[in-house]
């Protein structure tokens, strides 16, 4: 397991961004080197960069990796605070895509550690975090080959989603940037009112076509009835991407 403090990660981003401005990598009113162009390299928007700089939001692990890969920033500095932000004076050239297979290969070529991308937490911490799960900072992290993205994992207690997901399974989830991205009848982790439910979801609309409620449906429908929650009560939605089973079994 690997632990990274996202507040410290964001503070190092602020230092790196200031240095990039001094180096002429980010230039105001420049089409090719504007803040928006810089944000595009990190797969985000210019106003999000401003929020990172003000400390209102924090850069994600994948975005920090993209910063290192695209602007020659030391991953050792970004993720562990060791060494200098720019170990080389010149910007690192991008490796040839045809010769690389996956991010692990890239890490090998650049001689940097491949950093775990899945944050493991527990349902209690998950539900009690009043500012949103994307701001959880000090937790264990791990990595599974072939599974990428800034993800969250926790264990399931209960059989409401049986046989799809069993009690004791671990689910790996991807937070939605926008709740409007939710898709009916797919499985999500729904964080609301200090509770976390893993259910199939269906959107419910009023007579004006406004999405007002989310219907939560169990796969074990013979024992668990569906129920509704108001959209305004939802703090976070995460798409369940994978489940891991048998982790508690010993041989």
At 177-187, the pLDDT tens digits run 888 889 999 99
pTM over 0.75: no
The stretch 192-218 carries a mean pLDDT of 92
**Do 64 and 164 lie in a common domain?**
no
Contact 212, 206 (CB under 8 A): yes
User: In CATH, what number is assigned to the domain containing residue 182?
Assistant: 2.10.109.10
Q: Residue 115: pLDDT band by 50, 70, 90 thresholds?
A: low
Q: How far is CA 194 from the centre of its chain?
A: 20
pLDDT at residue 104 above 90?
no
- Kindly state whether residue 165 falls inside one of the protein's structural domains: yes
- Kindly state whether residue 223 falls inside one of the protein's structural domains: yes
- Kindly state whether residue 145 falls inside one of the protein's structural domains: no
**Do 99 and 158 lie in a common domain?**
no
Determine the structural domain holding residue 66 and report its residue range. 6-115
Q: Which DSSP string do the residues of 60-121 spell out, in sequence order? A: -HHHHHHHHHHHT--HHHHHH--S-S-SSSSPPPPPPGGG--HHHHHHHHHT-PPPP-EEE-
Question: Of 91, 115, 139, which one is at a domain's C-terminal end?
Answer: 115
Query: Which of 94-103, 111-120, 135-144, 217-226 is modeled with the greatest confidence?
Result: 217-226
Query: Measured between alpha carbons, how far is 110 from 215 in angstroms, rounded to an integer?
Result: 47
**Do 236 and 159 lie in a common domain?**
yes
**Do 98 and 13 lie in a common domain?**
yes
At 51-62, the pLDDT tens digits run 999 988 999 988
Q: Do you find a cis peptide bond into 163, omega within 30 degrees of 0?
A: yes
- Kindly state whether residue 146 falls inside one of the protein's structural domains: no
**Do 36 and 87 lie in a common domain?**
yes
At 224-240, the pLDDT tens digits run 999 999 999 998 899 99
Query: Measured between alpha carbons, how far is 3 from 80 in angstroms, rounded to an integer?
Result: 10
Q: Which DSSP string do the residues of 181-195 spell out, in sequence order? A: G--TTSEEEEEETTE
- Kindly state whether residue 135 falls inside one of the protein's structural domains: no
At 210-224, the pLDDT tens digits run 999 999 999 999 999
**Do 167 and 237 lie in a common domain?**
yes
**Do 167 and 233 lie in a common domain?**
yes
Query: Measured between alpha carbons, how far is 138 from 6 in angstroms, rounded to an integer?
Result: 8
Question: Of 115, 141, 174, which one is at a domain's C-terminal end?
Answer: 115
- Greatest CA span in the chain, whole angstroms? 65
- pLDDT value at position 124? 60
* Domain count of the fold of the chain: 2
């Amino acid at each position: 397991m690997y632990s990274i403090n996202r507040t410290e990660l964001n503070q190092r981003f602020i230092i790196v961004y200031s240095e990039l401005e001094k180096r002429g990598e980010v230039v105001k009113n420049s089409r090719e080197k504007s803040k928006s162009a810089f944000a595009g390299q990190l797969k985000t928007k210019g106003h999000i960069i401003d929020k990172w700089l003000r400390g209102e939001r924090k850069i994600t692990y994948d975005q920090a990796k993209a910063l290192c890969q695209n602007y020659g920033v030391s991953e050792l500095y970004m993720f562990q605070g060791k060494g200098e932000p720019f170990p080389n004076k010149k910007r690192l050239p991008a490796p040839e895509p045809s010769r690389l297979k996956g991010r692990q290969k890239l890490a090998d070529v650049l001689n940097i550690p491949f950093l775990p991308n899945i944050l493991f937490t527990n349902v209690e911490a998950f539900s009690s975090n009043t500012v949103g799960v994307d701001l959880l900072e000090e937790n264990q992290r791990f990595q599974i080959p072939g599974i990428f993205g800034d993800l969250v994992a926790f264990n399931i207690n209960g059989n409401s989603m049986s046989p799809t997901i069993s009690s004791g399974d671990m689910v790996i989830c991807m937070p939605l940037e926008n709740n409007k991205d939710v898709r009916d009848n797919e499985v999500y982790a729904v964080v609301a009112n200090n509770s976390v439910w893993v259910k199939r979801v269906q959107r419910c609309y009023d007579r004006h076509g406004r999405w007002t409620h989310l219907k939560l449906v169990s796969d074990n429908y013979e024992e668990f009835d569906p129920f509704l929650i108001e959209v305004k009560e939802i703090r976070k939605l995460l798409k369940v991407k994978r489940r891991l089973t048998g982790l508690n079994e010993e041989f």
